[in-house]
Amino acid sequence: MKIVQVQTQAEAGGAQRISDMVGEGLRACGHDVRTVFMYRKTDVYDRDPYADFILTEPPRGLLGQMRAAVGLANYLRNAQPDAVITFQHYGNIFGTIGARFAGANFIIANQSGAPQTRGVRGILTQIDKLMGTLGAYHANVVNSRWTEAQFDTFPKAYRRRMSRIDHGVPAPSVAFDKAAARAAFGLPQQAWLAVSSGRMAYSKNQIALVGALAHLPDIHLAIAGTGPEQDAIIALAQDNGVADRLHLVGEVPPARIFEFLAAGDAYAFSSLTETFGLAAVEAAISGLPVVTSKLDVLREVLTTDDGEAAALFVDADARGVAEGLAELIAKPALAARLAATGRQLKEQYSPARMCAGYEELLLSRSLSHGCDPVDNLQSA
């Protein structure tokens, strides 16, 4: 089956990690899968042999957005895919429209954000509700029990097309040496180091992580990522006299994320909103004790099927994060227990299981016999 995945922007984000894993898993099953980005934001996908870009830089203004949308429609029309899998708000909308014009037999949308009522996101939610209710896409994937519940008030016609496929989260394939990892990213060898990863945006709330340094004079913090909040993060660190203990390593490509995580003594995540929390689960699976905000969805995904928590859940402010990290430092046995529990999430969120869910959806519209993504991913 010929499949195109549609993403909005090319950068090292959570939604992009998911489409990477889905593409790899479906290719292992013999499908022809490419991912097209409406625009290139960073260079992280420049050497990906399965990636294409409509625009080589972020669109400017309405004219630029129209060029991206029209270019995507033309790309899909020329590609003539059997199925289209879309991600993110704009990817869902313009990918679905383009797929319809291209005559794709099956369209799968992914809900990477909870419904909103205000601003641009509120408008996008209403468009999504209308498209989903009218059947513009054939299947609508949510990634957690919490996310699924956010759509309980949507029309039945919308909800009957929903399928829950929990995100797959990769596990490290090799063990990285901490000292070597710190040297590779220019991080201090002897310091107690908290690490974090994610786009530097308001919702990710890395400001709270930097604020925690002021309460903990003996620890350092390393953040992997870039984004619009970077200047504010640097300014706060300078204002609080902690700039020498803050290490910004820039965007880390997916292939090196576990090397970066290996440099840490703990993982800190203070996000204000998530529908899954891929970065935090990834850190837990890598074996880091996690301190994270008290979001219901994070409590869900960072708890094993046996009911054991793989993280400390704290208030998403500087003091809350500082208290959580201080507790890990003071209680090594607690840190070790959380790390061991986190590793148990590997099977719960295996990429192969996620890919099997997408394979099942695709086969519901196909006469092909399919394959076992679990076997294929393990042998790949």
> For the chain, which domains are there?
2-168+350-379 (3.40.50.2000), 178-347 (3.40.50.2000)
Q: Name residues of the chain where pLDDT drops below 70.
A: 366-380
Nearest in space to 35 (alpha carbons), one of 55, 20, 57, 14: 20
CB 278 within 8 Å of CB 300: no
Which of 167-180 are b and which e, b meaning 16 or more Cβ less than 10 Å from the residue's Cβ? bbbbbbeeebeeee
| Token pair in block for residue 9 | 């922007």
Angle at 252 between CA 251 and CA 253, to 5 degrees: 115
Q: Within 13 Å and on the Cβ side, how many CA atoms surround 351?
A: 22
What pTM does this model have? 0.89
* Long-range contact set of residues 119-122: C-beta below 8 Å, sequence gap at least 24: 121/89
pLDDT of residue 125: 95
Tokens 């960072």 correspond to what residue?
Answer: 302
Q: How far, rounded to the nearest angstrom, does the alpha carbon of residue 96 sit from its chain's CA centroid?
A: 21
How far is 241 from 245, CA to CA, in rounded Å?
Answer: 9
The side-by-side arrangement of strands in the sheet containing 290-293 is 246-250, 219-224, 192-197, 266-269, 290-293, 311-314
3-class secondary structure for the chain?
A: CEEEEEEEEECCCHHHHHHHHHHHHHHHCCCEEEEEEEEECCCCCCCCCCEEEEECCCCCHHHHHHHHHHHHHHHHHHHCCCEEEECCHHHHHHHHHHHHHHCCCEEEEECCCCCCCCHHHHHHHHHHHHHHHHCCCCEEEECCHHHHHCCCCCCHHHHCCEEECCCCCCCCCCCCCHHHHHHHCCCCCCCEEEEEECCCCHHHCHHHHHHHHHHCCCEEEEEECCCCCHHHHHHHHHHCCCHHHEEEEECCCHHHHHHHHCCCCEEEECCCCCCCCHHHHHHHHHCCCEEEECCHHHHHHCECCCCCECEEEECCCHHHHHHHHHHHHHCHHHHHHHHHHHHCHHHHCCHHHHHHHHHHHHHCCCCCCCCCHHHHHHHC
What's the token pair of residue 48?
């990906």
Q: Which residues of 63-78 are buried (b: 16+ CB within 10 A; e: fewer)?
A: eebebbbebbbebbee
Are 123 and 154 in contact by the 8 Å Cβ rule? The answer is no
CA geometry: angle 226, 227, 231, nearest 5 deg: 95
pLDDT digits over 364-374, tens only? 876 444 565 44
